[in-house]
Amino acid sequence: MFNKYIRDRQDEIITSVLESIAIDSTEAEPQEGMPFGKGVNDALEHALKLADQMGFKTANIDNMAGYAEYGEGEEMIAVLGHLDIVPIGDGWTYDPWGEIVDDRIYGRGTLDDKGPMIGALYALDAVRSLAGPLKRRIRLIFGTNEETGSRDMVRYNETEETPVMGFTPDADYPVIFSEKGIARITLEKKINDGSLISAHAGKAVNIVPDHAEMTFLGEDAKVRALESTGIPAHGSTPELGKNAVSDLMQKVVESGASGDLKYFADFYNKNIAFETDGASLGIACDAGKFGRTTVNVGLLEGDGTHIKITLDCRYPAGEDFEQTAAELKEKAEAEGIECVLHKNVQPLYIPEDSMLVQTLQEVYREQTGQDIDPVVIGGGTYAKAVKNIVAFGPVFPDQENVIHQKDEYISIEHLMKNVEIMAHAMYRLAR
Ligand SMILES: [Zn+2]
């Protein structure tokens, strides 16, 4: 019903997307009334002005988020996305602020997430023009702080209405019905005997370190320096990489570490080594369709006073990770290793037979001809920021994922297909 209407607006859609892409909405120094900086504020104002011109009701939530809304009814369904971007980085072949080459629109945010969210306005326009009266209101929520902390949605949740259902086009297709919980745990030992001089690995806890280094005092009292290399991977899929810290810990023992350092390395090699499922640590969990626990040793740091590793643990919905972490703490501290749970983002789970997941799945199948079951992922998406939301699009399976990379792009066909899918999804959820 909506597709022809949407295709007829292709030029307008591209123009609006390019206008948004031209704005550098990387988080910057706060200014008066611009908590995430001027660029972020400009991108929000651009989207709200466009929505306003299209005749939708709009609201600005303390310059931290905004929304455009259409329809009547007690209940509201939402499409959640964001207008902030990550820094452009180096190495672009095309203009990071928007350039069309052949059938692709290049630029930071084309895929993540300005393209889909500006597109969502046109999807909403199609629904308004063609769908007739609906039972529920449809609200497009424009976040502005997804990339650097999601403080936008903390603010939204404080004062604004919670949708009864919704989706965020800020991840992948097909529907993601469950996202694992994410916990950060540190294991640390004091160094009291000079056995360690320095240790370092990892840039971020959610990446498998590809380099690790250590300087220490051997049992013969000579200074040794070791390095290890690994294979990087995302922290939610550590089994796809090779951890440089694990390699280093084996080498350290083989090279004659002593005292407190040897004690810690022995603990590491016995309880972690190259495992990525937490089995020997006693925190493994296989929850069938909800997936399995993964553990990535993301950071290593140490000096003459202590040695510490930070684990990025992803655990399936249904698991009581507070309890699991408490058991790990007991086990580690019995061996003189300090163990602290620093952060625990709860898993997301919306039943597969819920109207939300079923409807999105149906729309996806109808619009793409692909019959793929809803999936579970280890990564956390924007869906966790607001209740009753699942991730749905915009990246198709087998599509090159250029999010956060140089030369980020969305093909015009891909952009248009997303607008069509979103229009059908909004309509089905709201009718
Ligand atoms: Zn995003």
Average pLDDT on 46-50 reads 98
Q: What's the confidence (pLDDT) of residue 149?
A: 87
Write the pLDDT tens digit of every residue in 343-366. Answer: 999 999 999 999 999 999 999 999
Q: What's the confidence (pLDDT) of residue 379?
A: 82
Angle at 397 between CA 396 and CA 401, to 5 degrees: 70
Average pLDDT on 328-354 reads 96
280 shares a domain with 301: yes
Q: What's the confidence (pLDDT) of residue 361?
A: 97
Residue 222 sits in a domain whose CATH number is: 3.30.70.360
Active site residue 11: no
Average pLDDT, the chain: 96
Question: How many domains are there within the chain?
Answer: 2
Active site residue 84: yes
Q: What's the confidence (pLDDT) of residue 400?
A: 85
Residue 60 has pLDDT above 90, yes or no: yes
Q: What's the confidence (pLDDT) of residue 279?
A: 97
Residue 55 has pLDDT above 90, yes or no: yes
Residue 13 CA, ligand 1 centroid: distance in Å: 19
User: Which range marks the domain in which residue 155 is found?
Assistant: 3-178+349-430
Residue that is last in its domain, among 301, 321, 345: 345
206 shares a domain with 118: no
DSSP line for 241-310: SB-HHHHHHHHHHHTTB-HHHHHHHHHHHHHTTT-SS-TTTT---B-GGG-B-EEEEEEEEE-SSEEEEE
322 shares a domain with 363: no
Residue that is last in its domain, among 307, 326, 345: 345
Q: What's the confidence (pLDDT) of residue 39?
A: 98
* CB within 8 Å of 165: residues ≥ 6 apart: 77, 78, 355, 356, 388, 389, 429
Active-site residue among 69, 146, 160, 247? Answer: 146
Strands of the sheet containing 104-106, edge to edge, are 99-101, 104-106, 409-411
Residue that is last in its domain, among 345, 373, 400: 345
236 shares a domain with 153: no
Name the residue among 111, 107, 142 with its Cα closest to residue 124.
142
Active-site residue among 84, 99, 147, 312? Answer: 84
Residue 235 CA, ligand 1 centroid: distance in Å: 17
Residue 269 CA, ligand 1 centroid: distance in Å: 37
Write the pLDDT tens digit of every residue in 292-319. Answer: 999 999 999 999 999 999 999 999 999 9
Average pLDDT on 1-16 reads 97
**What is the pLDDT confidence band of residue 401, given thresholds at 50, 70 and 90?**
confident
Q: Quick one: what percent of the chain has pLDDT higher than 90?
A: 97
Residue 65 CA, ligand 1 centroid: distance in Å: 15
Q: What's the confidence (pLDDT) of residue 398?
A: 85
Residue 15 has pLDDT above 90, yes or no: yes
Q: Where do the DSSP E strands lie in 346-424?
A: 348-349, 375-377, 389-391, 394-395, 409-411
398 shares a domain with 363: yes
Residue 391 sits in a domain whose CATH number is: 3.40.630.10
337 shares a domain with 370: no
65 shares a domain with 25: yes
Residue 168 CA, ligand 1 centroid: distance in Å: 9
290 shares a domain with 313: yes
* pTM beyond cutoff 0.85: yes
Residue 111 CA, ligand 1 centroid: distance in Å: 8
24 shares a domain with 172: yes
Write the pLDDT tens digit of every residue in 181-235. Answer: 999 999 999 999 999 999 999 999 999 999 999 999 998 989 999 999 999 999 9
58 shares a domain with 143: yes
Write the pLDDT tens digit of every residue in 89-130. Answer: 999 999 999 999 999 999 999 999 999 999 999 999 999 999
216 shares a domain with 107: no
Q: What's the confidence (pLDDT) of residue 250?
A: 98
Average pLDDT on 38-52 reads 98
Residue 167 CA, ligand 1 centroid: distance in Å: 13
Q: What's the confidence (pLDDT) of residue 362?
A: 97
193 shares a domain with 87: no
